[in-house]
Amino acid sequence: MPNPSDYIALGSQLEEDSEETEEEQEEEWFIPVMESPWVLAEKESKNGEATVCSNAGESGENSQGNEWNRGDIDGLFCPICMEAWTTTGDHHVCCLPCGHIFGFSCIRKWLQQQGTTKKCPQCNRKCTLKDVRKLFASRVVAIDGESQKRIQSLEAKCISLDKKDAVLIKKEAEWKKKEAEWKKREALLQRELHQLKEKTIYLEHLLDVKPRTLGHPPSMGGYCVPSLGSEFNEQGPFILQKELGVDGARLFDIDASSKIILMTRRLQGLGGMHVLTKMSLVAPYTRQDISLPTGSKAVRDLHICPSDGSLSLFASLGKKLSVLSTKINNFILAYDLPAPAWSCSWDLNGSHQIYAGLQNGSLVVFDMRQTARPLEFVNGLTSNPVHTIYSLHNSTLPSGVTAVLSASSAGICQWNFGGSEERQPVVLETGNQGACISLAYCPSSDDIIASFRPRIDNSNEMAYSQHLLTPAIGQGVHGSHVHLKRFGSNCYQKLAVTCANVNDVRLPRSAVMNIESHGCLFASGDELTGELVLQELPSFTVIQHLKLRKQPIYDVKYVHDVDGGLLGCLCDDILQLYGNHALK
């Protein structure tokens, strides 16, 4: 193909070489000539042959076996001899008045052998040797004007299509953006619709509280609560108010003043992460997950501060004792412990002191105003994990002394901290009931309930706490509940003992409630019947059976507020809330 730097010279007429004479022309008159290769090609094609002619076969040698079509040859080779013309010498490029280009030696031979009728070998237009004009150019290339116009037209169409394609791509991006916005808007409207439905259900419940207290329990929180029939004791102090779906929840606590619930959950899936979830008790029951501090692992105990509902305390197996601010949903303190923490408690006499019970049986006391080190550290009487710990009122204790009640499988013990005198722990006498698996305490009445199950030949209580580590559910076994009453600073009296159906694997949780109209009540799960049983103290008289949707029972909590009381029971993925008042 032609190089862009080639020059084009068409139809140029140059002066004939002045040195050329008529004698030279006559001398060359008798040189043998051949017909034009294009004329020969036409003659041969008429005879059925399709042969390309060349001069004395030299073009075949010069082409080195390459086959050229006419489009490749035009403008590059002499059409007579099929050899490249030159800018100097005998084969100098030249042209006739008709515009056809040849090598000078070739066209001269052609015209000399034509006799009197001299014609262009390509167009047969009359011409003479004097009409031949030499061209001075490095290379002559013939360009097809129609093809050039067609190329330019196609290029223009390509540019136009590129512009249209860019416009379409831009429009497509805009439509995708609009589609994403509409989908987002649709999701928002769906959420608003769901919230409005929740509020409608809630308002309908408020308008119909009294009729329903004599009939069926209400439908709340987006969950249909059908009648529990004869299994629901309507004569007791509590009615079912809400059922909330809480996947993977194992522990919870309620802040009645802010009407929120804090839960510890393990997200679904293999190796699910442990998180905290804050949920509102007011429609539309919004919830928010809060990440635990790095390395916390599973949470074993949690409590909302009784004097400041915006603070919550967490004990975890990652050797962490952490304090969360629910105002900013972030941890403001995280203490490193020498062993995994199994239990924790706020000090009932002040908001600065916190306690932790450890897996090795030790107890740690921290003052939140001093973050460098623990305030006190005491070794337990045994190496059994402290699964429960409660702060006691110090109204009967010496000034500057605080006390906590702890429970492990070995039994119950009171620990005193502070003061100038060294004080020995007080072991509560419960009799030979077995392994202590649960402890419930009511600060307002100083009533204590300790739950026991038969001992097994295993001094390590790790096997008793599998509900946070594995999906083990266990089954019911015959155990007992022991009712103790605290008198004075270090005195306890055993009031009653009753049989109970307790779990043989997990550590159950229970609650003691001091209700003005019903006295002191004890709420615990019955592992055989799958019910939450309410018993009146100290006689352990059953006053109400609350049928649960699922088993097992993981946690039981009771809070007192200005409207009455709220009893919560956390089962497998469901939190059931019972109240002796209409929740507002």
Query: Is residue 12 included in any domain, yes or no?
Result: no
DSSP three-state, residue 23? helix
The confidence score (pLDDT) of residue 109 equals 92
The confidence score (pLDDT) of residue 349 equals 85
**If you average pLDDT over residues 136-150, what whole number do you get?**
73
Contact 572, 246 (CB under 8 A): no
Range of the domain at 342: 239-455+475-580
Query: Who contacts 265 (Cβ-Cβ below 8 Å, separation ≥6)?
Result: 246, 247, 248, 249, 250, 274, 275, 276, 277, 289
The confidence score (pLDDT) of residue 247 equals 85
- CB-based contacts of 171-179 (< 8 A; 24+ apart in sequence): none
**Most confidently modeled range among 70-84, 128-142, 159-173, 395-409:** 159-173
Element holding 343 (H helix, E strand) = strand 341-346
CATH number assigned to the domain comprising residue 93:
3.30.40.10
Same domain, residue pair 134 and 247: no
Query: What whole-number distance in Å separates Cα of residue 221 and Cα of residue 195?
Result: 10
Q: Into how many domains does the chain fold? A: 2
Same domain, residue pair 134 and 267: no
The confidence score (pLDDT) of residue 390 equals 94
Following DSSP, what letter does each residue of 55-80 receive, concatenated?
STTHHHHHHTT----HHHHTTTS-TT
Query: Who contacts 208 (Cβ-Cβ below 8 Å, separation ≥6)?
Result: 218
In tens, the pLDDT along 276-306 reads 999 988 888 888 889 888 888 889 999 999 8
Same domain, residue pair 323 and 432: yes
What pLDDT band is residue 515 in, cutting at 50, 70 and 90? confident
Last residue of a domain, one of 101, 120, 138: 138
The confidence score (pLDDT) of residue 356 equals 95
The confidence score (pLDDT) of residue 474 equals 56
Phi, psi at residue 101, to the nearest 5°?
-115, 140
Query: What whole-number distance in Å separates Cα of residue 49 and Cα of residue 88?
Result: 36
Same domain, residue pair 128 and 251: no
What pLDDT band is residue 235 in, cutting at 50, 70 and 90? low
Last residue of a domain, one of 109, 138, 167: 138
The rounded mean pLDDT for the chain is 78
- CB-based contacts of 424-427 (< 8 A; 24+ apart in sequence): 425/381, 426/490, 426/492, 427/381
Contact 154, 110 (CB under 8 A): no
The confidence score (pLDDT) of residue 5 equals 40
What pLDDT band is residue 245 in, cutting at 50, 70 and 90? confident
Query: Is residue 144 included in any domain, yes or no?
Result: no
Is the pLDDT at 36 greater than 50? The verdict is no
What pLDDT band is residue 573 in, cutting at 50, 70 and 90? confident
Contact 298, 266 (CB under 8 A): yes
In tens, the pLDDT along 421-438 reads 666 788 888 888 899 999
What pLDDT band is residue 317 in, cutting at 50, 70 and 90? very high
CATH number assigned to the domain comprising residue 408:
2.130.10.10
Is the pLDDT at 82 greater than 60? The verdict is yes
Query: What whole-number distance in Å separates Cα of residue 385 and Cα of residue 492?
Result: 23
Query: Is residue 2 included in any domain, yes or no?
Result: no
Say if residue 318 is exposed, middle or buried (CB neighbours under 10 Å; 0-12, 13-18, 19+): buried
Query: Is residue 260 included in any domain, yes or no?
Result: yes
Query: Is residue 221 included in any domain, yes or no?
Result: no
Query: Who contacts 450 (Cβ-Cβ below 8 Å, separation ≥6)?
Result: 407, 412, 428, 430, 433, 436, 438, 439, 481, 482, 484
What pLDDT band is residue 484 in, cutting at 50, 70 and 90? very high
What is the pTM assigned to this prediction?
Answer: 0.58
The confidence score (pLDDT) of residue 201 equals 74
Is the pLDDT at 229 greater than 60? The verdict is no
**If you average pLDDT over residues 224-248, what whole number do you get?**
63
Q: Which residue has the higher pLDDT, 233 or 357?
A: 357
What pLDDT band is residue 48 in, cutting at 50, 70 and 90? very low
Say if residue 123 is exposed, middle or buried (CB neighbours under 10 Å; 0-12, 13-18, 19+): exposed
Query: What whole-number distance in Å separates Cα of residue 545 and Cα of residue 531?
Result: 6
Query: Is residue 60 included in any domain, yes or no?
Result: no
What pLDDT band is residue 154 in, cutting at 50, 70 and 90? very high
In tens, the pLDDT along 392-429 reads 887 777 777 888 999 999 999 999 888 766 667 888 88
Query: Is residue 438 included in any domain, yes or no?
Result: yes
Contact 90, 102 (CB under 8 A): no
Query: Is residue 5 included in any domain, yes or no?
Result: no
Last residue of a domain, one of 138, 155, 178: 138
Task: Point out which residues pair with 491 in neighbouring strands.
Answer: 487
